[in-house]
Structure 1
């Protein structure tokens, strides 16, 4: 071929080769940018996930098998620097209270989520289990602060807790059973809106699971359902029982296991049951609540629903969704409650006790960390 034509062919070949090389380079750069973007996106998304979602993602871990290992991943981990910033360097202005483990602070994360931060004191006599599982003290039992809670506020708190449990039991991606619901684990914000806290003992279920059995019973005396305390069986109905106790405590302003009546040996549940049978349920209401400001229908309905929740047999208790419907409507007749669990009654002829379940009365506010089920 003539030299001129050969040069022209070689020129076209080099041009095509350069275009291919440039195209490969551009595609490679674009793929790299996409890959980095995806990694950054999911990294930021996970960092911003609320604590509850992180707890749900860890549903494969069984907290009942925890042997106090340093590798315990039962709870999501957050860097200390984030908590330090959220609490404004653990400012006294953000201090909510103090327990045996140390002080508790209010914090606000970057996304605006409010959290309660427990800080273990150097002088604390309690260990890691107590630090994770001990809850906040509520002012519902404080003689002075309780006067700030009129009936309307208490009723809104009751309904708010009920809606929170409905979310945990059926509306969240995984069914979550709290297992340690009590008044001290209910946080109130500045508008008295309740939030369920302390999920250190919570268990999550997937699929169609509705109950489980454990040989490590965790919870607090006075709030545990009889089937859970006695046999280690827990389900959404064990949370319902705890909620019923919380309801009666909010209405009465008295603790279940710390309750004392000069004429009876009942605990609070037994006292509420006795008043209900005698048609004197209004006597259960806290004395500081002005009767003229009460909605009597709401009060009577709340006590009635509370007794339905603390019935001895789990199958007799309503679901939390049904509880919300009962509390939200003043119409319709409610079913009559049956004998409650952990009901103590002194016989009129002697000093012996008759009980609706096994058990022996003991001091309130004892948090159980390990208890072999019967």
Structure 2
């Protein structure tokens, strides 16, 4: 690292200056020379988690490393605007194309621009963002959801995931913010965002039933589809089903396994809807996942008192840094995850 971490990454009981710097170093240590940020050293990369880790680097002022991550994406974008679902050491290891993975570059690009004020970067990355969101929007289904993947043969199942579609909504709104800044109107994205937001908020039956996963619980909030009383009601509805006091958030409701990534993302969602005290409490709980080098274990099986899997993931550290940055008032992170400053797309009451 080239400089001390900003004050926005300091949070009592979670990160002091030395701890924050160590966590940032843990991500940088796993970033490869070409800019790729795999899950962990020697592991695979997916475009969504790669982008989340890059955003975390921007919160720490590591803008050159973050830009290298976006250059990795741009240089490997497929002609149709997509990326493959997994890469290992630059080689494709899963040739399907997950739509939320492809769309998320828009969130990262807007966050990087807000972090740096670099208009040249935004103009450079814009064609890749445009192609990525066009690819994603082309896979929308009746009623607003987005098909969750395209297979190797080019076909896409007529199935949508609530978590993935919530993330895509966030990406569309960030893409619209970039389009507004560059004066490049994208009416198709506005319509897609409006229909998708309505589907996520009002029509859970349009998505595959993954209710046992905590991400399906909080992602409509994290992805900005729900705010106000609707968000508060959703948080309260399943709090006791997923939250394990003192340990964190279950990945799956019927398993004794808490995970750092889901816990930090829930904290970020809680902050976004004004429940900062709860957010801080959860971030303090998951410090039992912290390794001495500043990285974070993926999860903990509390019935067995066992770390599992035995991996420390860049995206877990990244999610924690983003949650702390939001609580600390980092301008870019606040703007991207609060949703208040993002275009909302068209207002849709219902669609078919």
User: TM-score interval w.r.t. the shorter chain?
Assistant: under 0.3
Q: Which has the larger radius of gyration?
A: 1
Higher strand share: 1
For CA contacts below 8 A with separation 6 or more, give which structure has more relative contact order. Answer: 2
